[in-house]
Every structure is written in C-alpha cells, then in structure tokens.
Amino acid sequence: MAESVELPSRLAILPFRNKVLLPGAIIRIRCTSPSSVKLVEQELWQREEKGLIGILPVRDSAETATSGTAVSSGVGGESADRGLKNQAGISDTHKLDSKNQQEVIHWHDRGVAARALHLSRGVEKPSGRVTYIVVLEGLCRFNVQELSTRGTYYTARITSLDMTKGEMELIEQDQEFVALSRQFKATAMELISILEQKQKTGGRTKVLLETVPVHKLADIFVASFEISFEEQLSMLDSVDVKVRLSKATELVDRHLQSIRVAEKITQKVEGQLSKSQKEFLLRQQMKAIKEELGDNDDEEDDLVALERKMQGAGMPASIWKHALRELRRLKKMQPQQPGYNSSRVYLELLADLPWEKASPELELDLKAAKERLDADHYGLLKVKQRIIEYLAVRKLKPDARGPVLCFVGPPGVGKTSLASSIAAALGRKFIRISLGGVKDEADIRGHRRTYIGSMPGRLIDGLKRVAVRNPVMLLDEIDKTGSDVRGDPASALLEVLDPEQNNTFNDHYLNVPFDLSKVIFVATANRMQPIPPPLLDRMEVIELPGYTPEEKLKIAIRHLIPRVLDQHGLSSDFLQIPEDMVKLVIQRYTREAGVRNLERNLAALARAAAVKVAEQEHLVPFAKDVQRLSSPLLDGKLAESAEVEMEVIPMDVNNHDISDAFRVASPMVVDESMVEKVLGPPRYDDRETAERVANPGVSVGLVWTAFGGEVQFVEATAMVGKGDLHLTGQLGDVIKESAQIALTWVRARATELKLAISEETNLLEGRDVHIHFPAGAVPKDGPSAGVTLVTSLVSLFSKKRVRADTAMTGEMTLRGMVLPVGGVKDKVLAAHRYGIKRVILPERNLKDLVEVPATVLSSLEIILAKRVEDVLDQAFEDDKDESLNETDKLLGRNNGIDPQQERCEDRGESTITLSGLSELDTFNAFV
C-alpha cells in the first residue's frame, strides 16, 4: 500500500473525462493521442519509477451546463487542443478527438497524484503510431492553483491536501472519528462476509481492513463500487476524514443492501422453480428485479405490443371478446409451458388477418379491361366476352354476388393468366392457391389447435399473406383434389364457394367465423369429370378448348418470341425467327392444345443463338485501322491495339444498351436447316395417317383427354383361333364393352355387309380377333370409340382400307344407333391439327359445332351420322378403277364422288401440332 509521498510543486496533468481516480485505487489506461503519449513519454517513461503525474477529472460541456459544478477561476476558461474520452475498468481508453479543437474543457479544481506501477510501449502497424499502456495507482489528493500548458499537454501548480502525521494523530483521538471508524469497519466487515460466502473470497480484503488506515480504506472501498460521477467527485472533494468516512459508510451500506435484495430475489425464485429450469430462473429473476425497482416498461413487453396490434386489427366485437379471453390466458402462462407458443401464434394470426382492410374499389373501365385482355391473350373471344360481362355486372353492382368462374381446358391455354387479368382489371390483389394433390380436408379448413403442428387452412393463410379481405383468389387445379381417410377437400370447398355460406366461413384452426364473401374466387381445371357435381354446380364453367394453328402463330409472333428473346438476353438484332419457321415448328414439332411446347421449342432456338452470340462476342479485337464501337459503355476503356475480354454491364442497363454495346455484323435468321439441327428431325408429318391406315383393319378415331383433343388409331387383325376377342392397350371396362358391342353388331349384320355368305355362317369360325389401341402404356376408357371399332372390324373382314383423311367419333348401341359424345370442339380441333379433312360426328352433336372456330370449320368436311351404316357409307376409300365404291356395292347403293368432298381435297389445308399423349400420362382417352 502506498505511504505518504512528498508532492512536487508542479505536476503534469492527464485529464479524465467523467471519471475519478481516488487515492489507493488502481486503474489501467491505454494512451493513443499525441498529447497523452507525449506526457507519458516525458513524465513517466524517461523517469522510470520516479515519475508522478496528476489525474484531474474533466466534465462534459453538456453536463456542466446542467449540473452547475464550480470551476476554478483562471482554469475554466482554458481551452484544450482535444477532448478526452475515458471509460472505467481494465479496458479504459484515453483518446483525444481532433474535431473538438475549440471545445472548452471544464476542469475540476481537485485531483489525485498518481504513480505508474507498470508501463508498456507498443507500435501500431502499419501507421507506426506509438501507444502506451499504463497502470496507475492513486496516491493523494491535491488542489490546483494554476493550470498551464507544456508543449502538447497540461501542467499545474498544486498544493497537497493530505493531513500531516501530527494532524492525523489528533483526529484519531476524536470520539466522533472513532465512532465513525467503528461503524465503517463493521459495515465493511459485513459486506466482506457476504461476498466471501457468495464468491469464496475475501481473505485479502480482511487483511486490508486490519492493516490499512481507515481514512485510506474508505477511498479503496468506494473506488470498487459502481457509483455515479457526481458521487465520485463528492468523495474526491471530501478532504475532511470525518466527512469521508461518513460518505464511505453510506455507500458501503447501500451496496450491502443491494446485495441483500438480490439474495432475497434469488431465494424467492429458487423456492418456486426446480434447479433444472435455468432459463426460466433467469426470466423470473428479471421479473423480480423489475418489481423491486418498480420498472415495468410496457413498450418493451412483447405481449403489450401484441395487444396493441390486436386492437388495431379491427376485429368484430364477438371475435375481439374471444381474442381478449385468449390473451388473458396467455398472460397467465409461463413461456416454458407447452401451450404458450401455440397460443401466441394463434393471437398473432388473429392480429394479422385483414378483418377490415380491403383494396380500394377502382372505377371500372370496361374499355381498358377489354384492351388489357386483348393484349394479354390472343383469340378466346367468347371467354373474354364472358369476362367483360362479369366485370360489367361488378361495375353496376359492386356488392353483387357473382358466380364463381371456372376455366376448364388443357394445359398452356391461359387459364391462370386470365384470372390474373381479372384481378388487374378490378385493381385488386391476386393470390393463387394450388389445390393439386390436396387430399386432406385440413388444407382447406385448417387443423384443430389441439393437434401438434396445427396450422390454418390455405385460404386463411393466403388472406394473411395478401393482407386484404377482397382479393381475387385463384383456386388452381381444382380437379386434382382427392379424398382419403383424412377427409374430402372438395366437400370443404362447398362452403367456400357458396355465396350464401362463405360469409361465416369457419376455419378449424381459427375457430371463429371469417367473412369470405368479399373474395372473388376463380377456379381452373383441366377437365370437369373429376369435379364432384355439387361443387361443379356452384361454379360457372367456361371451356378453353385450345388454339388453332393460326392462333398459335399469332401468339408466337406477339407474345412468345419477344418473351423468349428477353429471357435469354437477346433481341431482334441478334436473332430473327421468320413466320414461316414458326409455322414449321407448329406443324412438325408440336401437337398440343396449348402453346407450352411451342414456347419450349422457340426457347431451344434462342439458346442455340445465345451460344453463337456468346462465342462471337467473347473476344472483340480492335486495331488502329478498325473503327471502334460507338457504345458509351466502352468509351474510355479501350486502348489502341487492345483486346477486350469482358465488359461488365451495370444492372440498370436495358437490353437496347446491351445490344448497342455488343452488336454483331448481322442478325442470325432461323432457317429450316437450323430448326432441324436444334430440334432434331421432324416428329410429325402429313403422311403419318396415310401410312398407318394403308392396310385394312385400321381406322382413325377422335378422343378427348385432359390435354385437349387427340387422334387415336384403332387396329384390328384376325388369326387362327377359337373365335375369341383379344383387347390390348390398357383399356377400361367401358371401352372393352364398346369393343364387344361392335363385334356383336358386325357379326349380326355380316350377311348384309357381304362379309358372310349366309346368316348361318360364323364370322369368327376358326379365327380370333385382336383389337389394339396404340400407346399401350396410356390408360384409355370411354364409350365414344364405338363407331371407330365397327369401322375397323368391317375394314378387317372386307379387306377394304379406311380413308386416310377421315376421322370419326361416336357411341353406338347394339341396334346400330349413333349416340352423341362430349368434347366435340376439342376433337374437331385435334382433327384439324392432324391435317384430317373429313370428320364423322353423331347427328345430335350438330349443336356443338357452334363452338368450333369458323376458320376450322371452313377447312373441314363435317359428316353427320345417325346410324352406323351412315358411318360405313363415308369411311372407306373409293375404287379408282370403277365408279362404284366396293362398300356401296355390298350395300346395293350407288355413291359417286361427292363434289363437296372434291372441293375439300382441292383445298389441301392441314396443320400438325404436338399430340400431348405420353406413355407417362394417365387420362381417360374416350368420352
């Protein structure tokens, strides 16, 4: 412990900002500013153990203005070259801030002389700045008489404030001092005992208590406490030892009481909880501390914030009452309880739902809506007309409960984008809910909160994400829902889509009614058959059969090619796809109702072009005699005879800038050789149908699938056997029955058709019949293959070929009647895509031809059949050597060449698109 020291008349001054060093205390500082480094170097480093410096407290200007602490005359007006920042503890750092060159330093008039216990010198790299780490021990108080500067640091003329040995002996005999000393030591001993029990230390402190004079011990104890700057200054100014002891006793007692309160809190918490709940123990301690301090900050309380959020959600009165009851229950729960998180998540959902928030209703402009629909979708005139009618009703009666529109059609025809266009026309937010593969009713109604991992249904979750109560909600792939032991999602949708019920939709997780009547629902499906009739009854079905080749061409030119070029970083300056090449791709590489495969093929051409452009532009040499690029992106970045390997294009540069920066000599034009090189050999041609029906026993049927209409070949052959019928092609029960009916009808009329000599002749005597539907991996079912099967069998037994330009569809009865079928529009479009010129339909399907585009009807010859004989009348080829058809001879009819048929053959129009049939697809082939 430091003994009494003799102070010089002048000391170098190291200012401490908002910090006091008391006698007997030890502090570690790091000096980095030029002034403090200079002071340490000259006053401590060079003098080794003999150096002494003065530590003088400095007050911030703002604090000085409010506190009113006295400043020594002649000192308060001194200006410092820099301000000093100090922090207590072993990491105390002293820095002088050069930006405070003119700041007035408010010095305290009393300080403490200090000596260095340890010095270490360091050099910062790479700046080379010298720094010092100094461990200082406070020695005694002094009073500042005069302050002056010495170079870059301050010095002061001082007088010591310590008592002499004689004065101290007189004070020790004072009874008041003795009582104060005894009280201070008793309080300090109690504090040491408590600390020894808690921290298993205190032996050295007891030695100090017995050996160090009590007036110095007071400074040492107070220096170890966390007290305010004002209290530190008050302790520094306590020159009178009685006053010093009194203040020290008060501070030690206060520290002792704070320790007792902490122990009381710990005992209270430990009595309530087990030792294993450490995290909960800490939370309880924090809560108890706040109770003792009377500090309950509502702004920092998450539950209070949640309550305010719930208040602003605009819940109805009945739901608000329910939410408050749940909130009160949550406040009584501990965070570690199992139901705490689930209750909190539930209340957050209630607060996030748009109970009142809605998108503003814009003034509907039908003309603008029609222009947007025309810009986004080519063709689909009747569909767009129905949407305009729907919007017109919404304009006249905004609160009208309109029907739920359900767009039904094959993939790639624009069902989802139509729903998005409706939302844009109404100015509402759009959200898509995918129902494909949903088999759990809880996906619609939500899980009950009693289950672990429960969550709301997709509808409520979608409304939470979109944050408005009146969006346009697309229920995508509504025909792909299924049912199992977990319920039937389609049945749950009945309440959602019923305008009389959905104003009180009850989600199991939410457990309170939510109004869905403001939501505009739009549904999409590939086919209607899987949709349950009660659900289908709640929707207005709008069919999108697919596009004709002419419409596909327009769509490709207007929409697909610009989009593909943009997606691949190209423009028309790099790649041009002529209209003839687009037609070629449509005819020879795609056969589909939509345009997705067409877009994929165009993207393949764009990728091939991107490779060519990238290879050409990877290196762009420049010579002195070559004119440089005029692009502003390259200005100033190319030296003469230089070679540019890469140019970084900023993110905000548009495609035109890029095109200007990287311009090829001439754009790449797609030709037939490039199409075949990129896409491979043509997948389809006009000769496919003729080649497949070249032999008797093959007929061409029309089918309907989830991907649109398709052409289906039916093959029949006979062999030696026992008269059995063999069916292959992964057929369903209905189509097997159709084959049996067709064979029975042909056998019953074998004599009339001249297939047998007499009625007693068995057509199947000694032979079996095998009927096959190609694409054997694809399941097929449905009754509309009846007339196709009859035609195939008659062709087989009569050895006559079916016309290659003729396709047919229709269900037949055992008596030979041709019954109507569904999907006529899709089937006629499929025939048109395959280049078929003649289509045989049931007579009662005449009304369905209204839906077929006029351009398609004008290129086809539609033949209506009432009986199977009418089908056979038109199905077979004419004999080129004779004026009578062989089939007509059998039937006793005279049938010359039909002029209408001749005109149809003269037109010679045919289009080919992608089939859509795949060995991995599963669909009902016949309707």
Residues with a catalytic annotation lie at 784, 827
- Please, how many CA atoms are within 13 Å of residue 560, restricted to the half-sphere of its CB? 28
Q: Give the type of residue at 118.
A: H
Question: Which residues, in sequence order, are bridge partners of residue 713?
Answer: 700
Q: Contact 218/246 with Cβ under 8 angstroms?
A: no
Q: How far apart are the first and last CA of the chain?
A: 106
The Cα 474–Cα 431 span in angstroms is 6
Task: Give the CA dihedral 395, 396, 402, 405, nearest 10 degrees.
Answer: -40
The Cα 510–Cα 457 span in angstroms is 9
Question: Which residues, in sequence order, are bridge partners of residue 712?
Answer: 701
Residues making up the binding site for ATP:
409-416
Using CA of residue 473, residue 477, residue 479, residue 484, what is the dihedral sign?
Answer: negative
Give the tokens for residue 895.
Answer: 């049938």
Question: If DSSP states are collapsed to H, E and C, what string results for 292-337?
Answer: HHCCCCHHHCHHHHHHHHHHCCCCCHHHHHHHHHHHHHHHHCCCCC
Cis peptide before 530 (omega within 30 of 0): no
The Cα 586–Cα 913 span in angstroms is 6
The Cα 582–Cα 595 span in angstroms is 12
No. of helices (H) and no. of strands (E), the chain:
33, 29
The Cα 130–Cα 506 span in angstroms is 74
Return the biggest CA–CA distance within the chain: 156
For residue 268, report the phi and psi dihedrals to the nearest 5 degrees: -65, -40
The Cα 585–Cα 553 span in angstroms is 10
The Cα 324–Cα 36 span in angstroms is 62
- Please, how many CA atoms are within 13 Å of residue 174, restricted to the half-sphere of its CB? 11
Q: Contact 794/872 with Cβ under 8 angstroms?
A: yes
Q: What is the DSSP string of 598-660?
A: HHHHHHHHHHHHHHHHHHHHS-EE--TTSPPP--TTTTTS--TT-EE---PPPTT--HHHHHH
The Cα 336–Cα 354 span in angstroms is 30
User: What's the chain's Rg over C-alpha atoms?
Assistant: 48
Residue among 842, 838, 837, 839 nearest 865 (CA): 842
Three-state DSSP class for residue 797: helix
Residues making up the binding site:
409-416
Place of tokens 């209408």: 900
Q: Is 386 exposed, middle or buried (0-12, 13-18, 19+ CB in 10 A)?
A: middle
Q: Where are the beta strands (DSSP E) in 151-295?
A: 153-160
The Cα 860–Cα 596 span in angstroms is 26
Give the tokens for residue 351.
Answer: 């607060």
Q: DSSP letter for 697, please.
A: T
Nearest 5 degrees, angle CA 568-CA 572-CA 576?
A: 95
Q: Contact 619/646 with Cβ under 8 angstroms?
A: no
Q: Where are the beta strands (DSSP E) in 760-852?
A: 767-772, 806-808, 811-812, 818-819, 838-842
